[in-house]
A and B are shown apart, each in its own frame.
Chain A
Amino acid sequence: MDRFSWSNGLLEINETLVIQQRGVRLYDGDDKAKLDVGVALLSTHRLIWRDVKNHECCIAMPLSQIIFFEEQAAGIGKSAKIVIHLYPVPANKEPGPYQHSKYPYIKLSFKEHGQIEFYRRLTEEMTQKRWESTSLSQPIPTGTSPQVGRKTHAVGIIGIERKIDEINTVCLFTNHNRGHQTLCSALVLLCKMVELSRSIANKIKDKQGDITEDETIRFKSYLLSMGIADPVTRETHGSGTHYHLQLAKQLGDMLQAPLEERGGMMALTEVYCLVNRARGMELLSPEDLVNACKMFESLKLPLRLRVFDSGVMVVQLQSHSEEEMIASALDNVSDKGSLTAEEFAKLLGLSVLLSKERLLLAEKMGHLCRDDSVEGLRFYPNLF
């Protein structure tokens, strides 16, 4: 509550009122604030609260003070709340109702409901950050830098420290309130972490010379495990990272036998299941698998990634012959007069997906034609 400053509650020239809600009580952290129930107002620049009975009692806080916020559901005898986490008090803050507080967060308790809409609007304003583009006539302590109204990014050590602060707050809150975590907060958390990782990745890229090789490698692997591709290696190596190269070689060895068993071709989904089952831990992501498979050709491995017209992706042995496959498909169909994809699959011991692809390929080459009816899709030798 020590982030608030006394205010006259009047909006500035470029400031717009977004939403207001009656029946809001403020909390300093978990404790009820020494204020009554009032009206909470959200503007493009500030969060304002005014006492309902005593209009002179009005406080405001710039939105840039807010790190993040989340909903707290109502309980028995408890109103729904919005919990707002705040940056440390800026040095140039105007005096307010509290000199200091032991809590880095406040709560808005909605005694007369309205929290859903208020939360939605607050999310919008925090996303759009309109206060950054329109300056107010009065200098308002922004909490990011002493400059008024300009869109500034905290740079250098200070920026990184602030980001670390952010993470700490988020982590603390998470640990403290594990039981109350909503899906929403998890998403907010994730967004912040991803944002952080990206910004640090950029800093590393810039300060390449100042950070040790070891730290860099550690950080890059940290990024990779979070699913963010390393920008540096991608640039220097073009397609694929060192990791994918190694993986491709591994796959080359691992898949040889299973492919031969299955007639030289496996759907990528089958490969994914096979490989991850074998690994047990440190599972592959689908993206990593695809990227590794794309490197088969350049590594001169005897495997190929192939995409059918329908979009189905398979891994096939290079020695695998197309003509043979089509000729055998034609033989089988002629033999039986006609076949559906399911019947063909059973005949060959293949998955229905792959057997259908074979039939479609033979049709494309003009060896088969189709009979599409309510009974299903059946393939015949092309007698036309």
Chain B
Amino acid sequence: MSFEWPWQHSFPPFFTLQPNVDTRQKQLAAWCSLALTYCRHHKLYTLDVMEAQESPMFNNKKIERKLSMEAIQVVFEELRKKGNLEWLDKNKSRCLVMWRRPEEWGKLIYQWVSKNGMVNTVFTLYELSNGDDTEGEEFHGLEDWMLLRSLQALQAEGKAEIITMDDGKGVKFF
């Protein structure tokens, strides 16, 4: 399934940070949405800022427009404020993109667990993300760090407990 670009992506002004405050808000909202759907579609969990500048997301070669580094940072800051992005380093060169927030993942996983009557069972992390049983689920293929955070979110809600085992981590659902 090929990615469907939103109409803004072919609109040249989309790539200029708008000075009018109201217009800018709408622009940034559109950028955030585009960034998240793009990462989701391509199952991207981390972004390198330099690489991102050249990716088709921020660089539309057809209309010869791309977002400046300054604008990209503004978009990323918006994402961070909304809880969808986390910087991996102080220099802000790499970041984690959470097109779904940990709480949302946690909810999905828990739904699957309870739907299949597997509450009170212990799973290894690998089983959850890469097991045959979970194939077809959205959280299949979820990167470890993301999975862990989601389970931590569930743990905070009292719906799971993370266990440290000999060869790694596991989780028990309540």
Residues of A within 8 A of B (CB): 338, 363-364, 366, 369-373, 378, 380, 382-384
Q: How far is the CB of B170 from chain A (nearest CB, A)?
A: 48
Q: Does B19 contact A (CB under 8 A)?
A: yes
Q: A369-B27, A373-B16 are in contact. List 16 more A-B contacts (CB 8 A).
A: A366-B22, A366-B23, A369-B13, A369-B16, A370-B18, A370-B19, A371-B65, A380-B11, A380-B12, A380-B13, A382-B23, A383-B7, A383-B11, A384-B13, A384-B18, A384-B27
A382 to chain B, nearest CB (A): 6
- Asked if residues A369 and B20 are in contact (CB atoms below 8 Å), the reply is yes
A364 to chain B, nearest CB (A): 6
How far, in whole Å, are A265 and B156 apart by their CA atoms in the complex? Answer: 65
Q: Is the CB of A363 within 8 A of B65?
A: no
On whether A384 and B26 interact (CB within 8 A), knowing A363-B20, A370-B18, A370-B19, the answer reads: yes
23 residue pairs bridging A and B, Cβ less than 8 Å apart:
A364-B20, A366-B22, A369-B13, A369-B16, A369-B23, A370-B13, A370-B16, A370-B18, A370-B19, A371-B12, A373-B15, A373-B16, A378-B12, A380-B11, A380-B12, A382-B20, A382-B23, A383-B11, A384-B8, A384-B13, A384-B18, A384-B26, A384-B27
**Chain B: interface secondary structure?**
helix
Chain B residues with Cβ below 8 Å from A364 are 20
When distances are taken between beta carbons in the complex, the residues of chain A under 8 Å from B12 are: 338, 371, 373, 378, 380
| Contact in complex: B13, A366 (CB < 8 Å) | no
User: Given A366-B23, A369-B20, A384 and B30 touching (CB < 8 A)?
Assistant: yes
Interface size class of B (residues with CB under 8 A): 10 to 19
What distance in Å separates the Cβ of A331 from its nearest Cβ neighbour in chain B?
Answer: 18
Cα of A372 to Cα of B16 in the assembled complex, Å:
6
Bound: A113/B65 CA distance, A? 64
Q: Mark B27-46, 1 if CB is under 8 A from A, else 0.
A: 10010000000000000000
Residues of chain A within 8 A of B23, CB atoms compared:
363, 366, 369, 382, 384
Complexed CA–CA distance, A373 and B13 (Å): 9
**Which A residues lie within 8 Å of B7 (CB)?**
383
CA distance A338 to B30 in the complex (A): 21
Contacts of B20 in A (CB 8 A): 363-364, 366, 369, 382
User: CB distance B27 to A371 under 8 Å?
Assistant: no
**Sorted from nearest, which 9 A-B pairs have the closest CB atoms?**
A371-B12, A384-B26, A372-B16, A369-B13, A371-B13, A380-B13, A371-B16, A369-B23, A384-B23
- Complex CA distance for A372 and B64, rounded to whole angstroms: 12
Chain A residue at minimal CB-CB distance from B21: A366
B73 to chain A, nearest CB (A): 17
What sequence of 0s and 1s flags, for each residue 2-18 of chain B, a beta carbon within 8 Å of any chain A beta carbon? 00000110011101101
A71 to B16, CA, bound (A): 58
Q: Which residues of B contact A370 (CB under 8 A)?
A: 13, 16, 18-19
Most chain A CB neighbours (cut-off 10 Å) among B13, B22, B23, B27? B13
Cα(A364)–Cα(B22), bound, Å: 10
Least CB distance from A373 to B in Å reads: 6
B19 CB contacts on chain A under 8 angstroms: 363, 370
* CA A87 to CA B92, docked complex, whole Å: 73
Please indicate the chain A residues that have their CB under 8 angstroms from the CB of B16 in the complex. 369-373
Q: A380-B12, A382-B23, A384-B23 are in contact. Are A373 and B18 (CB under 8 A)?
A: no
Query: What is the bound-complex CA distance between A378 and B63, given in angstroms?
Result: 14
| CB closest chain-B residue, reference A384 | B26
When C-beta atoms are compared, the residue in chain B nearest to A382 turns out to be B23
Contact B18 A369 (CB under 8 A): yes
- The listed residue with most B CB atoms (<10 A of its CB), out of A371, A380, A384, is A384
* A383 cross-chain contacts in B, Cβ below 8 A: 7, 11
In the complex formed, the residue of A with least CB distance to B26 is: A384
Q: How far does the alpha carbon of A364 sit from the alpha carbon of B20 in the complex, in Å? A: 6
B21 CB to closest chain A CB (Å) equals 9
Query: Which residues of the other chain, B, contact A371 by a CB distance below 8 angstroms?
Result: 12-13, 15-16, 65
Distance between Cα atoms of A338 and B65 in the complex (Å): 15
Residues of chain B within 8 A of A372, CB atoms compared: 16
- Specify which of A363, A369, A380, A382 lies most central, judged by the most chain B CB atoms within 10 Å of its CB: A369
CB distance from B60 to the nearest CB of A (A): 12
Q: Please, which residues of chain A bring their CB within 8 A of the CB of B13?
A: 369-371, 380, 384
Closest Cβ of chain B to A40, distance in Å, is 61
Distance in angstroms from A368 CB to nearest chain B CB is 9
**Nearest neighbor of A378 in chain B, beta-carbon distance:** B12
